[in-house]
Structure 1
Amino acid sequence: MSEEATVQQHGYWPPGLPREVVYRGGEKPIHEYLFDNEREIPDRVAYIFYGREVTWGELGQSVRKVAAFLKEKGVGKGDRVGLYLQNCPQYPVAHYAVQMIGAIVSPLNPQYKDAEVEYQLSNAETRAVIVGEDLLATVQRVKPNVPGLAVVISTAYADYLPEEPALEVPAFLRERYPVEGDVVDLLSILKDYPPLAEGEPVDLWNDISLMTFTSGTTGRPKGAMLTFGSALYKTAASMMANQVEPDGCSLAVAPFCHIAGMNSGVYMPVYTRRTTVILPRFDPETVVRAFEVYRCDMWYSIAPMLRAILDMPGIQERDLRCIRNNPATSFGIPVTEKLADEWKALTGCQIHEAAFGLSETHTSDTFMPKERIRWGSCGIPMPENEIRILDIETGAPLPQGKSGQIAIRNKGVFKGYWKRPDATAETLRDGWVHTGDVGHFDEDGYLFFTGRIKEMIKCSGYSVFPEDVEALMLRHPAIRQCAAIGIPDEKRGETVKLVVVLHPDYGGRVSKQELIDWARENMAAYKYPRTIEFRDSLPATGAGKVLRRLLKN
């Protein structure tokens, strides 16, 4: 580690936690950890899907069979393969089959529509796609416009449902959809193909295994190229820092297509040998029931999920005392000490902010020390991870307490954007990822995220970060969620508009002007919102991140 990485050296560091990452089974791709599990614990349960148990032995054999099929069809090292699926057992099968042959996983959000799917498949020059039956029609409509797309594999979620489900199954999982044209059924591959014995050799720290599309700091989504080593490093570092015990049971609800959901639902289970209960979407009752049935001891969640469970009628009579490790992320609703106290009273588990991170760094760049939680912060840098704060205008490093652009360097950062050398040069400089995010370190080396440069609002020459306005406004008891955006102003350049979702019991009881007056009293004059709009909900990604750009339309 360089002498410039002062945060870990001079800030707080948990007693007993190594500063260097120790890999449980050595430095190798995570799919090789999967095959270790297949060989050493074949009868232990890897995944549970509404009561259907998939063992490590079955998972390993399924991966090998799909890999054999793809290889036979000419898909090879470096080819991009789209995964367009809901959370399901087929997802890790497909993910690791692609990586076993040295190809590159390119996840697509199952909420994407035709234009978004066509854009990503075309941009990535996708060779093959593995798709849920519910989404197959979209792929077939855009396929004529994706000339390189040669292989389409579809799968029915119902193929992995048990005869007597242990949890209530959403109707869409039971549906059967018409499969027409040149499409291969995944189930037929699992029945007919012999397993591939050996995978493609890869260069752990240089060969690309994942191309996740992200807007980065500017523009349309771009393919961020991450190596096999990126996944290994961040998985191992996260498990160490967050004290994840092996061989337990986790609940996976966050979308696997999203980098955080992928870490918790695809990589972490294999690396730690934990059994993982898969749910394709969040439903409070089903999540609570999953805890009661399977006694899951770990769950990566987002704050709105916790709030929804806490607000369930009769929740105090339910048994959630099995939860011991619950990192949570602030999306729309912040992870506050008050929320944590409520959750602990219900479950006995202390939640904490999960991490700061982005797709270009395989996320999880910080962690929150459980013995010293600092509310409002993102925690401290992961082992072997350097974070700097840079002056937004000059790029010069700033001292603790000063706010600027967050820059990150570690051996797992991305190799660049697919066929976008211009965007790569702007974001990746001398191994440092310039995140486009703004924050500062406190005196103990805790990182505080305060906004995004590209979403910065310029009011009368002052820089206003939406997250700052939102955090302040969420202190008002009437506001459940809010999002701040900039709108044109002839005199001030821009002014702040706040889109608000009220708590149900405040509907009709608080006016827009009352909120503006409260804001004027509680924040700087240049910053407070001049305009308020009430809405029933805010547009958000599948992972729950509010899409401010859609509020400007």
Structure 2
Amino acid sequence: MSSVLKKSWPKFIPETLEYRLGERPLHEYLIQNATDYPNETGYVYYGNHITWKQLCESSLKFANFLKSKQIVKGDRIALYMQNCPQYLIGHYAIQMLGAVVVPLNPMYKEAELEYSINEVGIKALITSQELFPIVEKMMDQVSTLQLIITTNYRDFLSDQITLPVPNELKIPKEPSNSKSFDMLEVIKAHEPLDTTAKIDVWEDVSLMVFTSGTTGRPKAAMLTYGNALFKTAATVNTYQLNKTDRTLATAPLCHIAGMVMGVNIPVYSASTCILLTRFDVEAAIKAIEIYKINKLYTIALMNAAILNVPGIEQRDLTSLELNFATSFGMKVDEKLANAWKQRTNGCPLFEASYGLSETHTCDTFMPMDKVKYGSCGIPTYETEIRIVDTVTGEDLPTGKQGEIVIKNPGVFKGYFNNPEATTKTLRNGWVFTGDIGKFDEDGFLYFLGRSKEMIKSSGYSVFPEDVEALMSRHAAVLQVAVIGVPDEVRGESVKAFVVLKPEYKGKITELEMMKWAKENMAAYKYPRFIEFIDQLSATSSGKVLRRLLK
């Protein structure tokens, strides 16, 4: 550990990382939890208390079903649904077989789903009942998909519902169809898997997360069992999470940060997690009150929403002891932190970390005794972060801004079937992030922006090339270029400049095209602004100059 980092490292946190049950994949932690704490609650889902034994047995039974359908080690299996216990069961069942979890955003529409399945050769897909019609529409466009499993969120609700439920949990269950298997039915029909796959923790890929690195259409970052174990253990240690804690999971489990908080940390620490399908301000407040949640992960907008609820001063948030958050849509600044501390009777609020999919996120943490607002904290365990010149690649001194590059045991193996993109991003074990930052004299990292053209909208990474490819599917589009524009709520919104085909000029409006985009793209991705223009500025090689559009 460097002298600068040692100076800022909290004295109450061990300087070396030790794993609670050793270097084992997280599904083995789940199995051990079922042995050590069989009747203790692992997750609470709108009032349904799911014990470690129930979660483990359901996962082993579902794994056995997948095995009976010839799912083997290395197969890519997609999860395409909202947060729910079925997501957890699917995640761990897949990894028990040594297969690879591929999380797909439930906001994806047909074209996005089709692209993802074809990009990595998805063999099986687990989805929710309300999303199955989207799957059904594109089944003829994918060749590798052999198995579909559907589920209804109500299958894991109890009779004693304690929190407001979203509309997805009110959809009546439909009977099984010939194109898919029902998840609950196959779990009930199978015995638990007798032997899990033999895993090389640091070499075997357990997860493929779609990201775009710094440019291009989404690529699948290959992450190992060890990557997940390391970052989970590091986060548990640095934020002092333990078995007695109660956490709340509202962030999407398909997102790497939501996965760490909602899928990995409860299993690693054997703590209790209150799981919500999505963030709802009243459900979140009631969950804190009823279940006495003491450790909380949020985005800043969630904190602001809670603080602005009429009558919030009459609600009981005093169980909260720690709230680490992310600046999406608004900053986690001292003003917000002070308001939160006052309303919760002392709960500190600060920036959680800096990280990206290629490193399984959480590359930094905020020392709880040395909070610096505006920074992302200091490098976590076994982590080297450098700031380099974006042209020469040379290291820059403290205080100078440059590209953030990272090396630690969470670094991915590369992009699936994309050696060229891998070479650009991953160099001698270092991830070149494309992000701009700097260090201060105490070793705190400050994120300053992005050197590439990625758009950050509502916390999601949106890549111009991806939106452009989707927009090009519209029959009227001759050319299209996409940029990000400032948005007070989302951080950035997408704007598309469109050159129409001659035969469509005067026959379609920007509003009509925007409506089409909304119907064919994920909600965070579709352009909120469309402008028709006569031509796009481009280089001699034909590359569009997006900077001129800004």
| Separation of aligned partners in 2, 1:129 and 1:496 | 32
Partner of 2:121: 125
| Separation of aligned partners in 2, 1:546 and 1:257 | 14
| Shift in Å, 1:180 | 2.7
Percent of matched pairs sharing the same residue: 48
| Separation of aligned partners in 2, 1:546 and 1:322 | 33
> Is the CA contact 1:331–1:545 (under 8 Å) kept in the aligned structure 2?
no
- Post-superposition Cα deviations, 1:266-314, rounded to whole Å, max 9, x if no partner, equal 0000001111111111111111011111111111100000001101100
Aligned equivalent of 1:313, options 310, 313, 316: 310
SS of 1:153's equivalent? strand
SS of 2:50's equivalent? strand
Residue 416 of structure 2 aligns to which amino acid in structure 1?
Answer: W
SS of 1:121's equivalent? helix
| Separation of aligned partners in 1, 2:367 and 2:64 | 43
Residue 52 of structure 2 corresponds to residue 52 of structure 1: no
| Separation of aligned partners in 2, 1:278 and 1:81 | 23
Partner of 1:225: 222
| Shift in Å, 1:251 | 0.7
Q: 1:496 to 1:219 in 2, by over 3 A?
A: closer
Partner of 2:328: 331
Partner of 1:452: 450
| Separation of aligned partners in 2, 1:135 and 1:177 | 13
| Separation of aligned partners in 2, 1:65 and 1:29 | 18
| Separation of aligned partners in 2, 1:78 and 1:236 | 25
Partner of 1:288: 285
> Is the CA contact 1:332–1:545 (under 8 Å) kept in the aligned structure 2?
no
Q: 1:48 to 1:32 in 2, by over 3 A?
A: same
- Post-superposition Cα deviations, 1:33-85, rounded to whole Å, max 9, x if no partner, equal 00000111100001111111110001110010011011111111010000001
Residue 241 of structure 1 aligns to which amino acid in structure 2?
Answer: T
| Separation of aligned partners in 1, 2:60 and 2:433 | 37
SS of 2:448's equivalent? strand
| Shift in Å, 1:134 | 1.1
RMSD of aligned C-alpha atoms?
A: 2.4
| Shift in Å, 1:105 | 0.2
| Shift in Å, 1:198 | 1.3
| Separation of aligned partners in 1, 2:202 and 2:255 | 22
Map 1:156-195 onto structure 2 (within 5 A).
156-176=152-172, 178=174, 179-195=176-192
> Is the CA contact 2:215–2:452 (under 8 Å) kept in the aligned structure 1?
yes
Residue 67 of structure 2 corresponds to residue 71 of structure 1: yes
Map 1:9-408 onto structure 2 (within 5 A).
9=6, 12-176=8-172, 178=174, 179-347=176-344, 348-408=346-406
Map 1:492-503 onto structure 2 (within 5 A).
498-500=486-488
| Shift in Å, 1:146 | 1.4
SS of 2:207's equivalent? strand
TM-score, normalised by the number of residues in structure 2: 0.83
| Shift in Å, 1:547 | 6.2
| Shift in Å, 1:247 | 2.6
Note the residue ranges of structure 1 that are not aligned, 5 or more in a row.
Answer: 457-465, 471-482, 486-494, 503-538
| Separation of aligned partners in 2, 1:299 and 1:48 | 15
Partner of 1:510: none
Partner of 1:534: none
| Separation of aligned partners in 2, 1:552 and 1:216 | 26
> Is the CA contact 2:208–2:223 (under 8 Å) kept in the aligned structure 1?
yes
> Is the CA contact 2:330–2:489 (under 8 Å) kept in the aligned structure 1?
no
Partner of 1:415: 413
| Separation of aligned partners in 2, 1:446 and 1:547 | 32
Residue 437 of structure 2 corresponds to residue 439 of structure 1: yes
- Post-superposition Cα deviations, 1:424-450, rounded to whole Å, max 9, x if no partner, equal 000000000000100000000000000
Residue 15 of structure 2 aligns to which amino acid in structure 1?
Answer: R
Map 1:504-543 onto structure 2 (within 5 A).
none
| Separation of aligned partners in 2, 1:418 and 1:38 | 34
Q: 1:324 to 1:213 in 2, by over 3 A?
A: same
> Is the CA contact 1:438–1:452 (under 8 Å) kept in the aligned structure 2?
yes
| Shift in Å, 1:412 | 1.7
Q: 1:73 to 1:548 in 2, by over 3 A?
A: closer
- Post-superposition Cα deviations, 1:307-337, rounded to whole Å, max 9, x if no partner, equal 0110110000000001112110000100000
TM-score, normalised by the number of residues in structure 1: 0.83
Residue 393 of structure 2 aligns to which amino acid in structure 1?
Answer: G
- Post-superposition Cα deviations, 1:465-510, rounded to whole Å, max 9, x if no partner, equal x99xx9xxxxxxxxxxxx9x9xxxxxxxxx99644469xxxxxxxx
| Shift in Å, 1:384 | 0.6
Q: 1:161 to 1:13 in 2, by over 3 A?
A: same
